[in-house]
Structure 1
Amino acid sequence: MELQARSLPYGEVKCERGMGVRRRLHAHDLLVLGAVEGKGQALYLLGDDTRAELREGGLLLFAPGTPHRLLAIEGAILRYRVLHLDLDKLFPGIGPELFLRSHLYRHPMLYLRFNELCDALLRTGSTEESKETIKALLLPLARESDKSPRVRDSIEELHAVRRVLEGDLESPFDLQRLAQRFGYNRYTLIRRFKSLYGLTPRQYYLNYRVHRVRELLAEGVGIAEAALECGFYDQSHLYPYFHGVFGVPPARYRNALKTTQ
């Protein structure tokens, strides 16, 4: 597996080349766009049962928080490009109101523009110019959210649960204590939390910790220090979880970022 990566003010761009990779069930807080080159395919599972077969010419969009897993990369060695984008930083003030559904697009011009954008970002081109290109790419795919006030209030209660999980990464996960804090029984909390985020509270907590490690590595923090700060016992404890989400060991990810910053 070869990896190039570059940290951006509003996210990250990566280019991977390999085959036979699998990823565990996970989700990203950021919007994710991905495309492949080559005669094979990457088979994804979105949520519980929606399959997406990503081939050359297709562009796969994962809305923030969409649980997904990479089941297999089949066929020839593929080159895979991916953008992780922070909507709040790209669209200040309106980012949370934009609705982008997870979808597999098969539009040649969209595919071409996406690949040209990733090539530009992996070079040391202007990220501000690329920011406008990204906006032009995304806006036609988005519409404003139409959630009612009552639904937003219900969702905000579960957002509060999420913020508690994100606020203390060093403590052991305790579902019973978390449920009691918000007046749920543990099974109701699991059901309602998963209905919103697609992950159970435990899965979300682990997923968030792994993503926080990635952020720290991008900031130049050492692997051992990042692992401890995010509640992992050591590097060996972190390794299978990090590799399961990002497809490469923490050290290879860190080194790839160093070569492009």
Structure 2
Amino acid sequence: MPQFRVVTDPDDPAVAPFRAIKERDLVGREGLFIAEGETVLRAFVRDAPERVVSLLIDPKRRDKLADIFEGLPDETPVHFADQAVVDAIAGFHLHRGVLAVGRKPSPIAARDLLAGLPERAIVLVLCGIANHDNMGGVYRNAAAFGVDAVLLDADCCDPLYRKAIRVSVGAALSVPTARLARGEDIAALLAAAGFEGLALSPAASEILARVKPSPRAAVLLGAEGPGLAPDLMARARAVGIPMAKGFDSLNVATTSGIVLHHLRFAEA
């Protein structure tokens, strides 16, 4: 059973990992992260209970979360604190009343992650995605459409940032992910693993709806504005999503959902 205890003092050393959340979001947590909300916590305990370090919960939510507690490893600390104490610890009003500290998974090389995927697989390659809302939305779509892995270039933000996890409804905690080293040749890496790169671009002449994906497809998405690097575009299959006259682009998370939906239906 988890280790339940009541916290009445915001300065209790046991809840130090939850203290001043927004400030610590900016400097990082040395291999740990904060997740918030019941939906995210349920996904976390379901998919990776061994990586739950501790919980901070408003006691009013205890009964509703009883089944989650049963899924935790023995001796996992579960701290109960009234809303005012939770807010004082976090440094802002936390209306959800549910916080978790988690341990990030051990890093895996992109080459090794790709090598372990099945013969039929879909991979997302994200380049320069720096907005946490977009990152969370992309991961939510990745989970919804069964993406096998996500590769992040060196300029992408952290998908295990608190806001990105929340927007992803916990999907960022479960989709296999690898981060590419700066300067690593993405196109060569995909080709060596037998993946066809599909580079999304508003300027592409080939329409997504007519694309029949190869058994191993990699969807390449760049940041809104700069998009994908020209040399990467030149070494991939450029694909576009037609839009109404006068409109030239979509939010990157929306684009990912459209593309992944098409690829999954095209596979069926």
TM-score, structure 1 length as denominator? 0.25
Structure with a larger share of its residues in helix: 1
